[in-house]
Structure 1
Amino acid sequence: MPATTPISDARAWGRAAGAATLAAFVVTLVVAAFVWPAATTTPHDLPVAVTGPAAAVDGVTATLADSAPGRFDLTTVADRDAAVEAIRQRDVYGAVVLGADPEVLTASAASGPSHQAMTRLADELGTALAAQSGAATPAPSVTVTDVAGLSADDPQGIGMTATAFPLVIGGIAGGVVIALLVTGRARRLASLGLYAVLAGASTTAVLQGWFAILQGSALENAAAIGLAFLATSALLVGLSSVLGRAGIGVGALLTLLVANPIASAAQPPEFLPGAWGEIGQLFVPGAAVSLLRSLSYFPDADLAQPLLVLSAWAVVGIALTLVGRRGDAARDAAAPAEEQSPAYAAA
């Protein structure tokens, strides 16, 4: 047995140091990706409706511009009913109703942080009204009304927030399994479709039938989850068809380390710095969470954007699967003979 030379031994130690450095870098990247959204979360331009006498509206607008610059994006609406409708359509996160009986409307189902921001706004409004009224006249109390509350089975919204990560992992898992075990374009596409249907139905059975986290139509929720799984898994399969196994890593990293941290599952997109919140809604995790939240608690909301985003990613993945040379006709033709071999059967 040949002795180990100093050069080869040095190379082995170099590889060991390089592997440790790479692993440390990956861990740092993962920690930064997941902690950054929570560490930098703060509301900016949070859409809020306001209604009431013109003078009162102008006064509140000026007060918030001084006390909370950039925190709220106020939109004037006709009356309280219009404010409620805007909340239910997810155009705003809450509303301020001014008059003899001031009221702050909120929607805890939209997210915990936005609900807390509206509650703090009610406190600030009460303080401002007290300062305006003076000591001789008691200020009217500000009522807080939740017009889109969470389910009694998920009163804190923790379950809805927790659904985001399983959707990400489920999409990645489906894509990895199909990319590694299924050969041939037609079989890969059929497997993707079947996975989306089965995984969507089973996940809905757990989230809605078992834990009652999701609300609304179980069929619609299953279709939404299935589309989310299809979008992610098809992307991984498509990238693997084009790039080989390296494509699986690219798709997984894109979904897990880029898209998932900015999905705004725990807070509104307006709580992320800059345009990252809006960018996050253009990826599968953000669109999927937004779609499920609307289906469960905001039936009047416009579903066009999340549906379009999920469909677009699914189409991209399917297109890559069709054109990728890693799944070309030669491999398709070789697959049946391979699958009939004793080695394949044993595996």
Structure 2
Amino acid sequence: MSERPAPAPTAPAHALRGPLRHVLLHLVTPLLMCLGMGLAYMGAFVTPEPHELPIAVVGSGQQTQVLAQTVKDQAGDALDVRTVGSRAAAVDALKSQSISGAYLPGKKAPELIVASAGSDMSALAVEKLFTPVAAEQGVPLKITNVAPPVDDDPTGQGLFFLLVAVSIGSYASVAVLGAAGGALRMRARAGLAVGVSFVVSLIGAALAGPVFHLVHQGLWGVWGMAWLYSAGILLIGVGLHPFLKRWTTLAMMVLFVMLNFTSSGGLFRPELQNGFFGSLHAFWNGAGFVEGMRTHVYFGGHGLAPHVWTLVAWLAVGALLTTVAGLVERRGRVTESAATTPAHSHKRLPVEAASGAEAEVEEEMEESVAV
């Protein structure tokens, strides 16, 4: 009789607990990403409603004042209604992006003036508001767009997707610079961050210009803002990594995806969002990038400086974080060297550090790919 093969040895239950715990711990990050992305995107985009949307009624007589007050009373807090004295003043207000639309009453041909390059969704919201007003007079509403987007980007949302591309290239590089570059001094990692941001900005400018033709003028300015924006993200990530380690990916997702894309104004202006995302729009770096590009490309650079300064401020935060992280790492090296073992025990440290860094960057890149 042939002998039965011996059963394969099975690992004891306690030996499996360590790997299982390791897997479950790593699953926390993607699950938190799922929850955070759902809360952020659905909270920001699912139910857009006007909130203090700035519009104007053109004219100077009592009839204009009555119409403006009537519109305000009917809309409540949804609209911020004002009057301007002339059509030219309304066009200037639209090109400075201080209003989202202007209604010029007329018995024969009432006119609605918009600038959809500032926000296609805001222009549609204003059109929806004033179409019934003209219908009450039994006349069609004439719509004039004084700042339309380019034909290659008919909705004007291409700049938002450019923001997405530059953001992903920036924060995904943080995993490599933070983990694989851990053996380098912070000064070297910061220099690499600036270099990587330069490459990312060139890619962004190429996509915006010769590839998809989203930008027909001012491409160098778009490239400059992309570099400022990307460098700020990379330096913040490199500066956070020594403190957060493997949780850096989640932190970058929160800062530069969940809160960033939703408050950028690329799809909905803050007047169409709830107060939380609307308030972030005032100082978040994605909003500075998108609004800066819009202003630079479509509105002659009017009011560009505040958006550029927003990007500079985030870059300064990144530089400060990398400086602090570098000082902390230097102090740690001094402390470690003071309590070191004999010199020959250090010969294997670079290899061990390198293998640990490789494992760490693989884990972080896997988590970033899940995005």
Shorter chain as denominator, the TM-score bin is 0.7 to 0.9
Distance of 1:55 and 1:163 partners within structure 2: 46
- Distance in 1 between the 2:23 and 2:348 partners? 37
**1:170 maps to 2:177:** no
Q: Please say if residues 263 and 277 of structure 2, whose CA atoms lie closer than 8 Å, have aligned partners that are also in contact.
A: yes
Q: Which residue number in structure 1 is paired with residue 237 of structure 2? A: 236
Structure 1 residues 302, 3: closer, same or farther in 2, change over 3 A?
Answer: closer
> Is 1:113–2:112 an aligned residue pair?
no
Q: Distance in 2 between matches of 1:22 and 1:67?
A: 47
> Cα deviations across residues 95-128 of structure 1 (Å, max 9, x unaligned)?
1123454311011111221111122133122024
- Displacement of 1:65 in angstroms is 2.4
Q: What corresponds to 2:199 in structure 1? A: 198
Structure 2 CA distance for aligned equivalents of residues 323 and 146 of structure 1? 49
Aligned partner of residue 206 in structure 2, secondary structure:
helix
Q: Please state how far the C-alpha of 1:321 moved relative to its aligned partner.
A: 0.6
Deviation at 1:221, TM superposition (A): 0.6
Give the alignment of 1:116-131 within 5 angstroms: 116-128=124-136, 130=137
Match for residue 324 of structure 2? Answer: 323
Structure 2 counterparts to residues 3-42 of structure 1, below 5 A = 4-5=12-13, 24=31, 26-42=33-49
Letter in 2 for 1:285: G
Question: Once structures 1 and 2 are overlaid, which stretch shifts more, 151-160 or 15-24?
Answer: 15-24
Alignment partner, residue 367 of structure 2: none
Conserved 8 A contact 1:105-1:145: yes
Q: What letter is aligned with 2:50?
A: P
Structure with larger Rg: 2
Q: In the alignment, which residue of structure 2 is the partner of 1:292?
A: 293
2:55 pairs with 1:51:
no
Asked if the contact 1:45–1:71 (Cα under 8 Å) also holds between the matched residues in 2, the reply is yes
Measure how far apart 1:303 and its partner are. 1.6
Amino acid at match of 2:323: L
**Cα deviation, residue 311, structure 1:** 1.0
Rounded to whole Å, the distance in 2 between the matches of 1:283 and 1:166 is 17
Q: Is the 8 A contact 1:239 1:248 kept in 2?
A: no
Distance in 2 separating the partners of 1:191 and 1:9: 40
Q: Distance in 1 between matches of 2:232 and 2:49?
A: 30
Q: Which residue of 2 aligns with 1:148?
A: 147
In structure 2, the CA distance between the partners of 1:43 and 1:198, relative to structure 1 (3 Å rule), is: same
Root mean square deviation of aligned Cα: 3.3
Q: Which residue does 1:78 correspond to in 2?
A: 85
Deviation string, structure 1 residues 64-95 (Cα, Å, up to 9, x no partner) = 12332222212222211111111111111111
Instruction: Identify if the C-alpha distance between structure 1 residues 190 and 3 changes in structure 2 by more than 3 Å, giving closer, same or farther.
Output: closer
TM-score for both structures, normalised by structure 2: 0.78
| CA positional deviation for 1:15 | 7.6
**Equivalent-residue separation in structure 1 for 2:241 and 2:29 (angstroms):** 23
Q: Cα 1:46–1:30, aligned 2, differ >3 Å: closer, same or farther?
A: same
Q: Distance in 1 between matches of 2:242 and 2:331?
A: 12
Q: Helix, strand or coil for the counterpart of 2:81?
A: strand
**Once the 2 structures are TM-superposed, how far is the Cα of residue 248 of structure 1 from its aligned partner?**
4.7
**Cα pair 1:40 1:273 within 8 Å, conserved:** no
- What SS does the aligned partner of 1:68 have? helix
Structure 1 distance, partners of 2:206, 2:160, is 17
How far, CA to CA, are the matches of 2:10 and 2:122 in structure 1?
68
Unmatched runs of 5 consecutive residues or more in structure 2? 1-8, 338-346, 359-371
Match of 1:66 among 69, 73, 86: 73
Report the residue type matching 1:114 in the other structure.
S
Cα displacement string for residues 127-168 of structure 1 (whole angstroms, at most 9, x for unaligned residues): 24x1xxxxxxxx554321000101011112242332232132
TM-score, normalised to structure 1's length? 0.83
Secondary structure, counterpart of 2:76 in structure 1: coil
Q: Aligned equivalents of 1:216 and 1:290: distance in 2?
A: 16
Instruction: List runs of 5+ in structure 1 lacking aligned partners.
Output: 131-138
SS at match of 2:262: coil
Q: CA deviation at 1:170?
A: 2.0
Instruction: Give, in angstroms, the shift of residue 206 of structure 1.
Output: 1.6
Change in CA separation of 1:242 and 1:319 when aligned onto 2, cut-off 3 Å: farther
Residue type matched to 1:121 in 2? Answer: L
Q: How many residues align?
A: 333
Matches within 5 A, 1:218-233: 218-233=219-234
Q: Which amino acid aligns with 1:163?
A: L
**Are the aligned partners of 1:34 and 1:261 in contact in 2 as well (CA < 8 Å)?**
yes
Q: Sequence identity of aligned pairs in percent?
A: 23
Q: Residue in 2 aligned with 1:255? A: 256
Amino acid at match of 2:178: A
